[in-house]
Each structure stands twice: as C-alpha cells, then as structure tokens.
Amino acid sequence: MGPKEVFLISATLLAMIMAQEGGTCPALCDCVDSHGEMTVTCGGQGLNQVPADIPTSTIWLVLKYNNLARIGSHDFKGLRQLKGIDLSNNNIKKISRGALRHLVHLDNIDLSGNALHALAEETFAAPLAAARQDGRRLFVFLANNPWRCDCHLKWLAEKYANATDVYSERLVLCNSPDNLNGSYVSDVPLSDFKCDPEVTFVDTEQGDDATTAKNDPRVESGSSKPLSKGATIATIFVVAVAVIVALLIMGRIGKEYHAGKQDTGTDIETRPMIPAENREVYM
C-alpha cells in the first residue's frame, strides 16, 4: 500500500472523529447559526431518541412533535451550552434524574404535551442552582401531562403553594387518582398528595422514575450504560489504526512474495508433488 492509500485512510479517520465530536448537523435536523448562537431544529421527524451527533455548540434545541418516550442521563451530556430545550408533544414517560445535570446554562425547558405522570424534583437541581447563582431565571413548562397526584408529586404542589416562579401552573392537571382527576395541581390540598403504603418509588437507572410494588422481584437494581462519545471515538481510532497497520503488513508480505517468485522463477502453488522416496534425490 502506497502513500496515497495511507493518506486516504487517514483522511477518512479524521472525518469520522470530527463527525463524532459533533461538528456536523444530524440527519433530519436543520442547524442554523445566527449571531453566534446555534439553533438545531429536529421537530416532527418521528424520532424515537435524541440524535447522538448534535453539535456541542448548540444553544437552542427543538425536538417537539416526535416519538421520544424517555430522556436518559446521557442524552444531553455533551451539550453544556444549551439554554433552551423544546421537548413538547412527544410521548415522554420517563426522564432521568441526571438528564439535565450538565446543563448549567439552561434557561427554559418545555415538557408540555407528553405522557409524564411523575417527575423527580432532583431532575432540575443542577440547572436551577446554576441559574440562581448567575442571577438568571429557569422556566419549566409542564402542561398537558397525565400527572398522578400522589406523594411523589407533592414537591411540585409545595412549589406552587410558595408562589414558584420556576414551574408554570398553566394546564398542570391531575389525571389520577380518580377523585382528583381534572383538578389543578396547584389547587389540591397538600394533605391529598398521599401514596398507598404498599407502593414505593424506585429508580431503575440513575434518575429513572418508576412506581412499583414494594419488594417486587421484577425490578432490577441497575442497567447498562451506553458508551460515552469519548469511548466511541477512541474505539473508532483504535480500529482504524489496526486496519492501517494490517494493510501495511499485507502490502509488505505481498511485495516479498512476488520478489521471491522472481528470484526462484517457480510458482509455489504449481510446483509438482515429489514422491517421498525420490525427494532427496530430486533436492
């Protein structure tokens, strides 16, 4: 393999690494840089997961009207510059407690029009603390979700009771239990946010909210974590280097093989078989 082939492989490797680092716009998305602020719009594309190759410089991310069912702890890990996320009108049922922990510049997040029935207060801890430290305000929109008004949502009712300026009250209604169906969360007495003593709140992953029967053997204590973007890049690099080395070795062996044929003038594969009793004489 000559210098040209090595150069082409190296260029391909570099392009793969740049793509993994978020230097390109994801398929099915539009990326617009306006006055130094990157807006990535992926709305209405039927996505069932957050694209993995969103540019790390993204400030505004629009994922509304898709089929997202959950937001995991790694979905926004590399997007530390995000100020706004629109996740409205998906089918989100679960959001990891750690999904927003890296988003220290977040100003607003729209979760309206999803399938959320519970949400941990800790989900917003990191961006809320950063906003207060910087003198900013964080806005969270929660309208049109089938909220289950039990002890796990009491924290939100307490925020409303204390006139929160973070969580919007608009169309935040109880869906269950039946006696509270259709009631505004902000109007329900705190004493009504209670749970069955046989039911407990379980995290099946870091930050995954689930309600299940106590001691239910079907609940697993952990789950596998996907490879980080850095690990993926390292894997691609190692594999590509191995391929280059293998091609170089194969090229060298091929040259030596053909050189040997020219020296001996005999094709190894077509050399006639020699009977064992005559081999020494022949040699």
User: Does one domain contain both 66 and 111?
Assistant: yes
- d(CA 105, CA 137) in angstroms, rounded, equals 10
Asked whether residue 32 is domain-assigned, the answer is yes
User: Does one domain contain both 31 and 109?
Assistant: yes
- d(CA 72, CA 49) in angstroms, rounded, equals 9
User: Does one domain contain both 93 and 204?
Assistant: yes
Asked whether residue 167 is domain-assigned, the answer is no
Asked whether residue 244 is domain-assigned, the answer is yes
Domain enclosing residue 257, as ranges: 231-282
User: Does one domain contain both 209 and 275?
Assistant: no
User: Does one domain contain both 219 and 121?
Assistant: yes
User: Does one domain contain both 137 and 235?
Assistant: no
CATH value at residue 220:
3.80.10.10
pTM, whole model, 2 decimals? 0.65
Asked whether residue 38 is domain-assigned, the answer is yes
DSSP 151-195: GGGHHHHHHHHTT-SSB--TT-BEEESGGGTT-BGGGS-GGG---
| Mean pLDDT (whole number) for 127-140 | 96
Lowest mean per-residue pLDDT among 18-27, 85-94, 162-171: 18-27
- Predicted pLDDT of residue 251: 66
- Predicted pLDDT of residue 44: 98
User: Does one domain contain both 76 and 114?
Assistant: yes
- Predicted pLDDT of residue 266: 44
User: Does one domain contain both 52 and 35?
Assistant: yes
User: Does one domain contain both 86 and 129?
Assistant: yes
User: Does one domain contain both 215 and 250?
Assistant: no
Asked whether residue 51 is domain-assigned, the answer is yes
- Predicted pLDDT of residue 16: 44
Lowest mean per-residue pLDDT among 53-62, 130-139, 204-213, 248-257: 204-213
List all residues 6 or more positions away from 9 whose beta carbon is below 8 Å from its beta carbon. 240, 243, 244, 247
Total domains present in the chain: 2
User: Does one domain contain both 220 and 237?
Assistant: no
- Predicted pLDDT of residue 230: 43
Asked whether residue 186 is domain-assigned, the answer is no
| Mean pLDDT (whole number) for 225-246 | 48
Q: Which residue has the higher pLDDT, 143 or 23?
A: 143
User: Does one domain contain both 29 and 132?
Assistant: yes
How much is the mean pLDDT over the chain? Answer: 77
Asked whether residue 268 is domain-assigned, the answer is yes
Asked whether residue 2 is domain-assigned, the answer is no
| Mean pLDDT (whole number) for 227-236 | 43
